[in-house]
């Protein structure tokens, strides 16, 4: 850990901000686990939430692709061990803490921010909405304030299919009505609107990616591959196979879908990472911004996923139908033509079979 007498990069800027904000840099509470001095490679990218599932895959891929990366994560969900395997610098701190942000931006020559940090559980957001508004909206606001103060204009934001009004059939495209069905989606949509306002207000250039269901892992990433939240369907299926959990709970079989279980569009995490790498390069060149769905256009029911897991592992999945979860919707499937044509980007690893195979490999099955 080092203190917050941060010098190396934005010294003058940070002093200016210190004067503006009246912050005492010496009372800063972040922990920097990276070595100092830092700059060694070309562009420095801040990955908020980079100790979590998608963020750690992203951070590792950034490093592999010749970027320098620094992770800001409060470790509420992710872990230090995972972050340390990415090859990125790790700063333990909270996106809602202006002092932590100011220290971080003073210390690292950040060119762009990829903003993953958020609370992400739909069901929990129904039970504890204030946590979600605080973390996801206040956190994004604080981040944008600091970016403005430091003159950092490039942002990629992780949004979600949960911002759309639920639709009984057909693909969700970017022009579909926006009407979240749960507080998680509400906070993400509000953060999108904040980013849009900041783009008009102070010249931020932003790409918002609306992910559908992130799935699988890159097995060669070792520990990183275990950052996937266990609450997600596919990890829970694997846990049911290995006996880590007694049985898989299938939340509702009375939805208006062919087999009655919820239908989702599963997108391989490394396909998501690819889209971010393409987007980042174009963002930095100044020739791309906007909102893009990232999905496959194909939906799979819970029972489809169970069937495919049994096929690729050759093992039975014990499962049982239970009550619907609050906030869940019958179907979310992406129309992602815009991303395919504009970025351009093609999800090449996102067949259900490949997703289940990579996850099973990550689970040692
Ligand atoms: N996983 C999906 O299927 C999915 C789908 C759509 C959108 N998203 C979005 O992608 C992003 C990443 O999701 P994930 O699945 O990797 O989740 P995750 O929980 O694995 O990662 C989130 C990370 O953010 C960190 N974090 C949370 N609040 C923080 C705060 N206030 N300050 C600093 N760090 C904080 C957590 O510790 C965690 O490491 C989220 O913004 C989520 O809304 C995910």
Q: Return d(Cα 101, Cα 107) in angstroms, integer.
A: 10
Residues 163, 282, single domain; the answer is: yes
Query: In angstroms, what is the span from residue 10 Cα to ligand 1's centroid?
Result: 28
Residues 64, 211, single domain; the answer is: yes
**Helix H or strand E segment including 120:** none
Query: In angstroms, what is the span from residue 33 Cα to ligand 1's centroid?
Result: 21
Residues 188, 287, single domain; the answer is: yes
Summarize the confidence of residues 49-74 as an average pLDDT.
97
Residue 116 located in a structural domain: yes
Residues 209, 246, single domain; the answer is: no
Which two structure tokens, joined as six digits, stand for 62? 């950034």
pLDDT of residue 41: 52
Summarize the confidence of residues 175-191 as an average pLDDT.
96
Q: Which residue's alpha carbon is nearest to atom 7 within ligand 1?
A: 160
Residues 159, 252, single domain; the answer is: no
Are 342 and 333 spatial neighbours (Cβ–Cβ below 8 Å)? Answer: no
Residues forming beta bridges with residue 215, ordered by sequence position: 268
Are 94 and 74 spatial neighbours (Cβ–Cβ below 8 Å)? Answer: yes
Residue 214, SS3?
strand
Nearest CA to 23 out of 99, 93, 101, 96 is that of 99
Residues 153, 95, single domain; the answer is: yes
Q: How many CA atoms lie within 13 A of 7 on its CB side?
A: 4
CATH of the domain at 79: 3.40.50.720
**Helix H or strand E segment including 270:** helix 269-285
Residues 78, 162, single domain; the answer is: yes
Can you give the pTM of this predicted structure?
0.90
Query: In angstroms, what is the span from residue 180 Cα to ligand 1's centroid?
Result: 18
Please state the atom number of ligand 1 nearest to the C-alpha of residue 215: 3
Please state the atom number of ligand 1 nearest to the C-alpha of residue 117: 24
Residues 194, 331, single domain; the answer is: no
The pLDDT confidence band at residue 58, using thresholds 50, 70 and 90, is: very high
Q: Which residue's alpha carbon is nearest to atom 2 within ligand 1?
A: 214
Domain that holds residue 350: 219-264+297-362
The pLDDT confidence band at residue 22, using thresholds 50, 70 and 90, is: very low
Residue 1 located in a structural domain: no
Find the range with the poorest average confidence among 29-43, 103-117, 254-268, 288-302.
29-43
Task: Report CA dihedral (155, 339, 301, 313) to the nearest 10 degrees.
Answer: -80
How many structural domains compose the chain? 2
Residues 287, 332, single domain; the answer is: no
User: If you compute the radius of gyration of the chain from its CA atoms, what whole number of angstroms results?
Assistant: 20
Widest CA span of the chain, in angstroms? 64
Residues assigned a catalytic role: 184
Residues forming beta bridges with residue 92, ordered by sequence position: 31, 73
CATH of the domain at 260: 3.90.25.10
């Amino acid at each position: 850990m080092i203190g917050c007498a941060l010098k190396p990069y934005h010294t003058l800027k940070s002093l200016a901000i210190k004067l503006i904000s009246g912050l005492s840099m010496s009372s800063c509470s972040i922990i920097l686990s990276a070595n100092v001095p830092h700059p060694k490679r070309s562009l420095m990218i801040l990955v908020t939430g980079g100790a979590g599932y998608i963020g750690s895959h992203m951070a590792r891929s950034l490093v592999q692709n010749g970027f320098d990366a620094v992770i800001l994560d409060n470790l509420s969900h992710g872990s230090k061990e995972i972050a340390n395997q990415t090859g990125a610098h790790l700063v333990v701190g909270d996106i809602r803490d202006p002092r932590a942000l100011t220290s971080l931006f003073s210390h690292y020559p950040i060119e762009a921010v990829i903003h993953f940090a958020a609370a992400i559980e739909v069901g929990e957001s129904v039970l504890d909405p204030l946590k979600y508004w605080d973390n996801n909206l206040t956190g994004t606001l604080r981040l944008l304030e600091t970016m403005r103060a430091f003159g950092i204009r490039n942002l990629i934001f992780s949004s979600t299919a949960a911002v759309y009004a639920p639709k009984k059939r057909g693909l969700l495209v970017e022009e579909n009505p926006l009407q979240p069905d749960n507080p998680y989606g509400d906070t993400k949509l509000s953060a999108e609107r904040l980013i849009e306002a900041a783009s008009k207000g102070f010249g931020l250039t932003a790409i918002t990616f609306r992910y559908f269901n992130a799935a699988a892992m890159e097995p060669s990433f070792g520990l990183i591959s275990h950052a996937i939240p266990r609450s997600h369907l596919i990890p829970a299926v694997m846990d049911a196979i290995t006996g880590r959990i007694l049985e898989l709970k299938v939340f509702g079989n009375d939805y208006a879908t062919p087999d009655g279980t919820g239908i989702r569009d599963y997108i391989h995490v490394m396909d998501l990472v690819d889209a971010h790498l393409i987007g980042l390069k174009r963002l930095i060149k100044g020739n791309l911004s906007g909102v893009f769905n990232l999905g496959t256009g194909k939906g799979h029911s819970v029972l489809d996923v169970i069937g495919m897991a049994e096929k690729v592992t050759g093992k039975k999945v014990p499962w049982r139908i239970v009550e619907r979860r609050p906030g869940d919707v019958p179907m979310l499937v992406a129309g992602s033509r815009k991303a395919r044509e504009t970025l351009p980007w093609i999800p090449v690893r996102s067949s259900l079979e490949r997703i289940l195979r990579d996850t099973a490999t990550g689970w040692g099955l």
